[in-house]
A and B are shown apart, each in its own frame.
Chain A
Amino acid sequence: MNIIVCIKQTFDTEAKVVLDKEGKVDSAGVTLVINPDDEYAVEEGIRLKEKFGGEVTLVSLGNSNTITALRTALAMGADKAVLIDDPALAESDELGAVEVLAKSISSHNYDIILTGKTDVDTGASQIPVRLAEKLNLPSANMVTKLEIDGTKATTVREIDGGKETLELTLPAVIAVQQGINEPRYPSVPGIMKAKKKELKTFSLADLGIDATSVAATMKIEKLSLPSARGSVRLIPGEAADAAIELARILSVEKKVL
């Protein structure tokens, strides 16, 4: 089974976000990790390989820092990695990113494409669905269970208020999330082996893509940081008194009850 896993490198979710002088997010000194949902995709890809044989190929858009994320996923057990590193990608959006991902993936044979459902940095959940459309494939989103039988994939998806069982024919794009598995930690031998695994870097020109064609159509007008909530008003007293006082505040002062 030929498995493609798309991953992105993102800020550690504990990292503090600050803006630089130009009002852009300052990544200096921030710990970078594999996007949490994508880590589930890497794990699921490796499990499919362990079950059915084949190869896990990572595909990522990024820069020279992204190599660390790719090496981590290789150390977990992926076989090879493709990095598309081009300054034009920093000025792109999901429409452009999918153009590039699809072009790169099209040069591989694949039975399944796995990725995480949401990018924690941009907050966008567009990539897997767009990628499926671009490659003319079916897709399942927010997947917490995946079973494969021949070319049939049966997924369980989280939907509002419940779960849905959705059946698709491979090849397909499967966007996974928490609940599907517990990603493994890279082992020491895994880390050693990862250093020797194939990691190829391409520019947009290498893929035959004109950099201007991936320029963002969505314009970010400004970034801002959350305004601090006022400090907490602790309600003193014994539990019974505190409960009465809180109920009074919420109904009389805040009028929410």
Chain B
Amino acid sequence: MAKILVYIEQSNMKIRRVSLEILSKAREIADQAGDEVVAVLLGQGVEALTKEIIPYGADKVIVVDDAQLANYTTGAYTSVMNKIIKEQEPQAFLLGHSALGRDLAPRLAQRLGVGMVDDCIGMEYDATSYLTFNRPIYTGRAFTQVSTAVRPIIATIRPNTFQVQEPDSNRQAEIVKANAQIDAEDLRAIVKDIAIAVSKRPDLVEADFIVAGGRGMKDKEGFGVLEELADVVGGAVGASRAAVDAGWIDLQYQIGQTGNTVAPTLYFACGISGAIQHLAGMTSSKIIVAINKDPEANIFTAADFGIVGDLFQVVPLLTQEFKKLVNQ
């Protein structure tokens, strides 16, 4: 029985949703192919998380719990994953296209001497090539369908590509505890500090709802109206480059060709002109709503719904309406 290996990413003892999205999809593919799904969890003190993983479709969970894995470092994680992959010989190894995924996956692919696919926005089972992937190129101005005959197939998957399936709490899986065995020469970079912005809002790339602002926000304080709307629907706040360059909001909230690529269910573009570089980061959103004073703004060519008007008037009114709906 062949295996699909899924990397389960956690931060501060919380499993990232993208990992459960991939696990759900891997389960579907394994059922089609008659294969098994092996989830891999690395970190320190993470063993308790296995029970949150199994219901989403794992047949086996490999846990590597070690103080040297407390923070992600390229070397230590590559060392551990390299050994697991050599031992498990999976058909495919899948990770989220997160900061961790885009660092770990190419390191590992190079160490294993194989190609890989980045930032996939589609993945299907295929009897000939096992998996075919769909991914954007030219910042979303074209798409390519990719496959490979090489094993393992390594791919990073963009968050919000797949649905998290209903958990099956009766599901049983084997739990395997493995030792870290990190090669000394893989410990060459030292994490000095990690500063995670404390936020009650969801992570931008994983959010279902995003309220983003651009030059039309006028100043830092302008983002307050967007935050209120985001909080009603449990969404995240984002920004175009214009707002970041103006110093109104931190770079980590930027959406676009440089910055984050997002694909929420609902995307509000407020006071955003719609430069092609911004569109590159958000056009795979399911529904796009644009609010802009300028009826000629390019953002309306990318939107499903639009309101031509002053965002400082429209957004608070929307917040009010959404509150009523959410309270119902």
Number of interface residues of A (CB under 8 A): 79
- Cα distance, A244 to B325, chains bound together (Å): 11
Q: Within residues 76 to 119 of chain B, which ones have a CB less than 8 A from any CB in chain A? A: 78, 98-100, 102-103, 105-107, 109-111, 113-119
Evaluate whether A121 and B137 lie within 8 angstroms (CB atoms) in the complex, with A160-B203, A232-B304, A239-B314 already known: yes
Looking at the complex, which of B19-27, B28-36, B258-266 is the stretch in contact with chain A? B258-266
Asked if residues A138 and B188 are in contact (CB atoms below 8 Å), the reply is: yes
Say yes or no: is B251 at the interface (Cβ < 8 Å to chain A).
Answer: yes
Asked if residues B99 and A13 are in contact (CB atoms below 8 Å), the reply is: no
Closest to A238 in B: B309
Evaluate whether A161 and B199 lie within 8 angstroms (CB atoms) in the complex, with A141-B103, A219-B149, A242-B307 already known: yes
CB distance from B288 to the nearest CB of A (A): 8
Asked if residues B103 and A162 are in contact (CB atoms below 8 Å), the reply is: no
Bitwise, A219-257 to B at CB < 8 A (1) or not (0) is: 111111110011011110001101110110111001011
Bitwise, A132-154 to B at CB < 8 A (1) or not (0) is: 11100011111010000000001
The A-B contact count (CB < 8 A) is 256
Evaluate whether A138 and B114 lie within 8 angstroms (CB atoms) in the complex, with A37-B258, A160-B205, A257-B326 already known: no
Q: Specify which of B135, B191, B197, B318 is in contact with A247 (CB 8 Å cutoff).
A: B318
Q: Specify which of A134, A168, A226 is in contact with B189 (CB 8 Å cutoff).
A: A168
Q: Specify which of A13, A157, A234 is in contact with B276 (CB 8 Å cutoff).
A: A13
Say yes or no: is A16 at the interface (Cβ < 8 Å to chain B).
Answer: yes
Asked if residues B313 and A239 are in contact (CB atoms below 8 Å), the reply is: yes
- Cα distance, A20 to B132, chains bound together (Å): 23
Number of interface residues of B (CB under 8 A): 93
Asked if residues A232 and B266 are in contact (CB atoms below 8 Å), the reply is: no
Asked if residues B306 and A167 are in contact (CB atoms below 8 Å), the reply is: no
- Cα distance, A250 to B322, chains bound together (Å): 10
Q: Specify which of A25, A162, A163, A221 is in contact with B138 (CB 8 Å cutoff).
A: A25
Evaluate whether A159 and B99 lie within 8 angstroms (CB atoms) in the complex, with A130-B107, A165-B192, A218-B117 already known: yes
* Set of chain B residues within 8 Å of A199, measured between Cβ atoms: none
Asked if residues A226 and B142 are in contact (CB atoms below 8 Å), the reply is: yes
Asked if residues B135 and A123 are in contact (CB atoms below 8 Å), the reply is: yes
Asked if residues B252 and A161 are in contact (CB atoms below 8 Å), the reply is: yes
Q: List 6 A-B contacts (CB under 8 A).
A: A17-B141, A94-B106, A120-B257, A167-B191, A218-B147, A250-B305
- B interface vs A, CB < 8 Å? 11, 74-75, 78, 98-100, 102-103, 105-107, 109-111, 113-119, 129, 132, 135-150, 188-197, 199, 203, 205, 233, 241, 251-252, 254, 257-259, 265-266, 276-277, 280, 283, 286-290, 300-310, 313-314, 317-318, 320-322, 324-326
